[in-house]
Structure 1
């Protein structure tokens, strides 16, 4: 069995009762599919008065005479019934029997499809849920190498392709092979000689069909990657629409998008045309088989007279009945090739190892008591070291500011403290315990993060703020807004804290968004606060309002402030000046300013008095 199919099929376990019911009704469908066509033989005998008149009940004389025994038994029943009720009445009964058989066959088909629907949609739901959960769990480093649009494509189009391919095959695994099996058994009973030819032909047809489908997986992978690329262009274009318009770059982005969709168009044409070839090819090969059967069978009826005309017509009908499931199987083999490509991309995310996880028996920690210690840490994102042999102690209740030029490693420290990344060397300790030995949820629960980019969601103000505390009351939310200097503008909004702020909070100004981010951190009420250039993107008036909010929030807390504007950190207990991942100066604002070094130059550049 296909390796990807095995991995995907585990998602079907919770829905196995639907699989069993599907199998049960598919078996009945396959059985009645053969029986309903066999029932045509006596009907044809009645219509053409071709039946042998048999008035003695036949006896079974072994497997080799099974065909003759069944045919004689049918003739015996028809002879008896026609003798008593006449041919017209026999015909009506036979038509009634055939209609009943076909009705049951189609009812069983409906019930089989009814139950498989719950399995298919359930697996689709569970794979998407598993992918979304894994996406939230994976470290930021994974997404720095992947396009967002590609991840979205995997969660939408690729998962849907799995449903159309792998899960469609589930329907065929029992129904179509059993339909073929029961039909061929019936054909063998009618005429072993003709049926042997079918056995010779089917492998040849299967080989021809498999050759045509070989390139499908490769082209499907390329198409999925291309779709991920143009979805990324859409996502980036919507996020950066202001920049695109201000630089008159609409033609550039439009051209890039059209090149991608054009490539996707050509790949899809190749895939679908190759896939569409399966049905007519398998049907043509089937008709060739029937054509040869007509020649051989016709000889047996007209010349050898070893087969009755009614039995031969019934046999041809059964042979044609093999075509539909054979076409479905050949089409499914093409779908599997596409499903392989989709499953590979889906499983790449589901099976991605997350390096940032809890150790076994990780220590639980609910309070922060003494200090944070960065002990001789070194870290690199790729090849170049961002921090080297960096050490810093942050006592409880103190505000420590990190300053320096862009690229000096300030924001990296915030990423390492929150374990968005893990250090390469050294250790980061909270109260003497390495954070890698602590429960990850506990570490992040102790920290509040306010970044330069105010990350808000398309929801109400209330729901955005209570991310920090899901069970918060409206009163607690309002108090957090007041502390963050945000309630003044929130109370004037049409629906107050229930107002929807739009995609990424675009209905609000930069300063308003930042104060909501601060309110969210205030409501969480963590003992450690990390402020990563929280005011650098604001105008002077907004900065003053936000700075007051930050000072309110940092009161009686341990704070790590990463600052670009030095006016915001004059009151810090300790200032650390960084350059190329190392500490070049540290002290209070006054001591560093009078030192006449790097910090003094930074202050002078910002004309701070």
Structure 2
């Protein structure tokens, strides 16, 4: 464990803190003895140690002897001064070790927090796309932010208590037993009783906490969806619908949070009241031992009461921590749900790293379904190296699914997809995707500069490489006119640019990557005629001497393809060049007539 040394140092400091914490009350006994001394004191013989059985009597006599001797030699005020210096030293050491214990645990707490966040982000990047299409993004965001913080406030703050408070109680109890075994029996009765009463209050806490965190994920999702769809919300005057949905969620959050905090707030007063009850019993019984039986000295009794109160603070902290654990438990479960999710698309143990593409992409007898119905049924297609194959058909015919399967965003249910006779499931995902460039219908760009958006394609590219890629994609013309050229920030999702400009940047990114296989998923479907002409020209530049799978939307994008595959309901109905298919007078010709390549 990387934080082992911090943990060990924290434990050592806490041991010393607990020891000096208990000693700080014991140190009051000699001070009180000096203060309570009145008149002439009886001469005491120097005590002799006679074994551990009489240790308490020996230490008491030794202390009395020392006080009397010193008072005779230096006077009562000098003795009191020495005692006070001793107390100040003990309190200083107690607080020093307390600070050092917290200093070391800080590195451990924040280090674990950082590691959990990093592990969650890595898991988010590793998990397949279907995992997130089933979950709300806001819920995932809540887990990586507020749930992880909840773990820090609850579980990781327990680390501070797990050694310090029990040790403080242990040392304090040891001194209490030493001072008065009879009185300590009351304390031993009190601790389990109060523990039981406190646990009754906290029983439902985990359930309430789970509701709070789930609701937080829900309203974060609404915020995320609202920001992503503001145009639609405003365009359809739907502000009131979303406003109501958000207010309903925050109302539930308000109610659940109140229930949770009101239960939580019971912890401290409950434990304090129980604590003062036991102090009251101790005062009554201890008073009897001092005034009636005479078996306990008054100063020892006062120090004992101090020690008994010294147990209350750690006991309160432990009861609060008990609530923290219950609350943190549900946050931890939500975090672990993501961390423990195994990716179904995980690389095999001896996954092949494929460095180049040599001859052929084979899609063999593929069946695939997203949920219940098969989107592809017994689909077979070969794409030889250097050729361009276009997939056309109506919406829902399974065209985009092919792109998702070839890039292994999903795995086939039956059949296989092979590259150079190697099943893509046997390849490492990293090496498979490094052979491919992807241009999607929605140009996915990030809130960064043009340069950094393109560097995703090739991290070590020079500015000359970037400009060359922009020229191939017909994008240099508008990029050079931006305020800071390639160093201009293009806004959230590239929203400072037009649709055609965004798409050309997506193409430039794929060009910069320079992969042997290019997958174009309806890359021109969202563009106007002028933009389409520029993008189409960019695509043709890019596809030269490259293997391409083109999911087509418009006729103009595919006329020059080496093969056109017409799909209907997950099956191939026609296949051939543009001229061959026109002559067949079948499904393709109907699509051409309708100009609908959706």
TM-score (norm 2): 0.98
Does residue 570 of structure 2 align to residue 581 of structure 1?
yes
Q: Which residue of 1 aligns with 2:200?
A: 211
Indicate which of 102, 106, 111 corresponds to 2:100: 111
Residue 527 to residue 607, structure 1, CA distance change in 2 (3 Å): closer
Aligned counterpart for 2:435 among listed residues 446, 450, 461: 446
Per-residue CA shift, 1:65-96, capped at 9, x if unaligned?
33322222211111111111111111111111
**Residue 132 (structure 1) aligns with:** 121
Instruction: Report which stretch shifted further, 355-364 or 148-157.
Output: 355-364
Residues 230-249 of structure 1 aligned to structure 2 (within 5 Å): 230-249=219-238
Superposed, 1:510-549 pairs within 5 Å as 510-549=499-538
Match of 2:344 in 1: 355
Q: Secondary structure at the match of 2:345?
A: coil
Q: Does 1:253 align with 2:242?
A: yes
Q: Answer yes or no: is the 8 Å Cα contact 1:54–1:75 preserved in 2.
A: no
1:514 touches 1:534 (CA, 8 Å); kept in 2? yes
Quote the offset at 1:364 in angstroms.
2.0
Matched, 1:368 2:360: no
2:27 maps to 39
Matches for 1:368-517 after TM superposition, within 5 Å: 368-517=357-506
Q: Determine if contact 1:66/1:189 at 8 Å carries over to the other structure.
A: no
SS of 1:586 mapped into structure 2: strand
- Identify if the C-alpha distance between structure 1 residues 465 and 607 changes in structure 2 by more than 3 Å, giving closer, same or farther: closer
Q: Distance in 1 between matches of 2:552 and 2:452?
A: 29
- Write the distance in 1 (CA, Å) between the matches of 2:77 and 2:338: 67
TM superposition shift of 1:53: 4.8
Tell me if structure 1 keeps the 8 A contact 2:25–2:306: yes
In 2: Cα distance, 1:79 partner to 1:406 partner: 102
- Match in the other structure for 1:596: 585
2:136 to 147, 154, 158: 147
Q: CA RMSD in A?
A: 1.2
- After the TM superposition, list the runs of 4 or more consecutive aligned residues in structure 1 that deviate by more than 4 angstroms: 50-54
How many residue pairs match? The answer is: 596
Hey, what's the Cα distance between the residues in 2 that align with 1:63 and 1:284?
38
| Matched residue, 1:189 | 178
Deviations along 1:134-159, one digit per CA (max 9) or x if unpaired, are: 00000011101111000000000010
Find the counterpart in structure 2 of residue 121 from structure 1. 110
Determine if contact 2:553/2:596 at 8 Å carries over to the other structure: no
Deviations 1:28-71 (A, max 9, x none): 00000000111011111111116965532323344443332222
Please tell me whether the aligned partners of residues 54 and 72 of structure 1 are also in contact (alpha carbons under 8 angstroms). Answer: no
Residue equivalent to 2:319: 330
Secondary structure, aligned partner of 2:275: helix
SS in 2 for 1:468: coil
Partner deviation per Cα, 1:550-604 (whole Å, 9 max, x = no partner): 1100011000000121221111110000011000111111111222211111111
The unaligned stretches of length 5 or more in structure 2 are none
1:43–1:585 Cα change, 3 Å: same
Alignment check: 8 A CA contact 1:67 1:191 kept = no
Mapped partners of 1:534, 1:52: distance in 2: 102
Instruction: Choose from 14, 28, 37 the match for 2:16.
Output: 28
Cα 1:470–1:313, aligned 2, differ >3 Å: closer, same or farther? same
Query: In the aligned structure 2, how far is the partner of 1:432 from the partner of 1:486?
Result: 37
Structure 1 position 226 matched with structure 2 position 212 = no
Which residue matches 1:556?
545
Q: Is the CA contact 1:149–1:235 (under 8 Å) kept in the aligned structure 2?
A: yes
- Partners of 2:151 and 2:400 in 1: CA distance: 41
The answer on whether the counterparts of 1:455 and 1:517 sit within 8 Å (CA) in structure 2 is: yes
**1:381-430 Cα shifts (integer Å, max 9, x gaps):** 11111111100000110000000011111001000000000001011010
Gaps of 5+ in 1: 1-12
Tell me, in whole angstroms, the C-alpha distance in 1 between the residues paired with 2:439 and 2:157. Answer: 48
- Indicate how the Cα distance of structure 1 residues 412 and 84 shifts in structure 2: closer, same or farther if over 3 A, else same: same
SS at match of 2:456: helix
2:366 partner SS:
strand
**Inter-partner Cα distance in structure 1 for 2:166 and 2:241:** 53
